[in-house]
Amino acid sequence: METTLIILKPDAVQRGLMGRIISRFEEKGLQIVGCKLMQIPMSLAETHYKDHKGKPFYPGLVGFMTSAPVLVMAVRGLGAIAIARKMMGATFGSKAEPGTIRGDFGVSNSFNLIHGSDSPEAAARELELFFQKGEVVEHKRAIDAWVYDMAKGSPE
């Protein structure tokens, strides 16, 4: 089981798309184990996007991410990191495939609605940045027996 950090960016919150995007993850079978609305302080945006420092789009990116509230989520499931990235689609809304979140809901190359961790290492780092101890609540769901094949004792 993996947990990934998802951020519904300021454009998703302002455009009233939170519910529809959360529904996609729930419908897929992924589990929301952490969720909070917050306005990201500049220092946190800079730490989160530290690998992009120096790139031409960096100032705009951290400005955008701190400009209005975001919804931060911890999303759990078997292969959740790669599954969420696939559901998000390509970085630019103009290029993202229909059927993906970015492909269906946006056209912009910088207002692209959603962030998702891109590796297990990134997920661990980013979850720790955004969630304090106790804010991620792992819990059993009644539906899990129908989301996963448990015949061999572990989810498949």
Q: Which residues bind Mg ion (CB under 5 A)?
A: 118
Nearer to ligand IDP, 118 or 135 (CB): 118
Q: Taking CB under 6 A as the criterion, which residues in 30-59 touch ligand IDP?
A: 52, 57
At residue 100, the 3 state secondary structure works out as: coil
The distance of closest approach from Cβ of residue 24 to ligand IDP in the complex, given in angstroms and rounded to an integer, is 17
Going by C-beta distance under 8 Å and a sequence separation of 6 or more, which residues neighbour residue 81? 2, 4, 116, 117, 118, 119, 120, 123
Residue 66 contact partner, candidates Mg ion, ligand IDP, none, CB within 5 to 8 A by sort of partner? none
Task: Look at residues 133, 122, 135, 113 and name the one whose alpha carbon lies nearest to residue 4.
Answer: 122
Residue nearest to Mg ion (CB): 118
The distance of closest approach from Cβ of residue 41 to ligand IDP in the complex, given in angstroms and rounded to an integer, is 18
* 74 near ligand IDP (CB under 6 A): no
The distance of closest approach from Cβ of residue 65 to ligand IDP in the complex, given in angstroms and rounded to an integer, is 8
Q: Mark whether 115 is an active-site residue.
A: yes
39-59 burial by CB neighbour count: b if 16+ within 10 A, else e? ebeeebbbebbeeeeeeeeee
Q: Taking CB under 6 A as the criterion, which residues in 103-122 touch ligand IDP?
A: 109-110, 112, 115, 118
Cβ 93 vs Cβ 108: under 8 Å: yes
Label residue 77 left, alpha or beta by phi (over 0 means left) and psi (-120 to 50 means alpha): left
Nearer to Mg ion, 43 or 119 (CB): 119
* 94 near ligand IDP (CB under 6 A): no
Residues written for the chain = 156
User: In the complex, which residues of this chain contact ligand IDP (CB under 6 A)?
Assistant: 52, 57, 61, 91, 109-110, 112, 115, 118
Catalytic residues, by residue number, are 115
